[in-house]
Chains A and B, each alone.
Chain A
Amino acid sequence: MYATHYHRASSVQDALSLKSAAEDSRYLSGGMTLIATMKQRLAAPTDLVDLRHVEAMKGVTVAGRTVRIGAGTTHYDVASSAALAGVCPAICALASHIGDPHVRHMGTIGGSIANNDPAADYPSALLALDAVIVTDRREIGAADFFTGLFETALVEDEIVTAVTFEAPEKAGYAKFPNPASRYAMTGVFVTKGAGGVRVAVTGAGSDGVFRHAGLEQALSARWSPDAVAGVAVDPSNLMADLHASADYRANLVKVMTKRAVAAA
């Protein structure tokens, strides 16, 4: 790791001013990707502005079926929120399988979605839940937020402060982990609610998280694990790497969808 300066922000405003005052700064919100990247000398920010201690950005609140998760909330806190489990246990289950216990106690939902790793779990949940990403200056729908591999709609210095969504009638998540990294080699989050059926896929798309229209149509017609059997998943826009070809991922998209519906 190259030398860097660490700043602990006390508020969103403090974070914004610390960030803009520094030469080549990055926000830190758990650092589960950024610190590892810095240790490999693949990133070398002069300054780090830590968001994890901003009180206003922490915690889960549930009002009726409206959920608000502060961006600085750890995966462990999401996984273990009884209020959240009461309305949307699928997202608790998802959080409980991110990384290992160390990662779950350090990594945060805001850090994860701002990084938008194409194999991260949360982007599929937020897309399927039609969540709103709240920042220091605006609200962005999940469909507009995730724009590509490690790319989001966030502009320079913009801070994700929370995510909100209406808990759907049903939700389920199924992940097939990469045998080495245990990131999602394909993960599918399904929801059924007032807005219909949504199927969001992570770990598989060559442009990152995406919704699958064919699967959504099939499940809208009949909400059952068997309903996906006849759906064709086109491998041409899927990732291929050492561990999984596009064809294999296309198969996993269907299988994980089926299992997510069964779990919902």
Chain B
Amino acid sequence: MALTPLEVEAIQLSLRVAGWAVLISLPLGIAVAWLLARYRFPGRELLNGLVHLPLVLPPVVVGFVLLLLLGRQGPLGAWLDDWFGITLAFTWQGAAVASAVVSFPLMVRAIRLSIEAMDRRLETAARTLGAPPIWVFVTINLPLIAPGVLTGIILAFARCLGEFGATITFVSNIPGETRTLPLALYTYTQVPGGLDGAFRLMVIAIVIAFAALIGSEFLARIVKRRLEG
């Protein structure tokens, strides 16, 4: 069963959107997780709530908020358009932003747990050996929280692949631009005689999910081995 050009397009789009979503949210996710795990500051609870909001809001609501903020007429969207010529509404980049926002809490949570579990005394030890904090972060903290970061990436990536509500609300369902795999499957179910196509996409989705699970298990094992020697 060879893939049709439409299917290839949907798969590529889904992977691209999810990949970019994880890529842009990763540095921010580590920074926010670090902030929440290590510092007490005014507004910390507010930040914590804000980060977790997409987890409890219906994705459609998230998509609508994004549309209001980042749409061409929205305050942020207009600004981005004027200054950088970046348009997010109804583009695949917008789909990536929607996925990133929705998966952000999962990523932050996993990373934060691993930061909180880290033995801070190792940082002290590294400092007494002459290492400045940034070097300690790169050579001690990052490797030791790697399993948590990996978990965060996998959870977020999986969430992005399945993203539907926020995406369709924010960037609509445009073939070749924002019609990711779940949207394509949904589209098939809405047209007469589309069940075959939907079925094929379902199989593809399951295969991708399985591959991701096995791949992540493999990676986790490598990381674990590197940490424990």
A, B: real partners: no
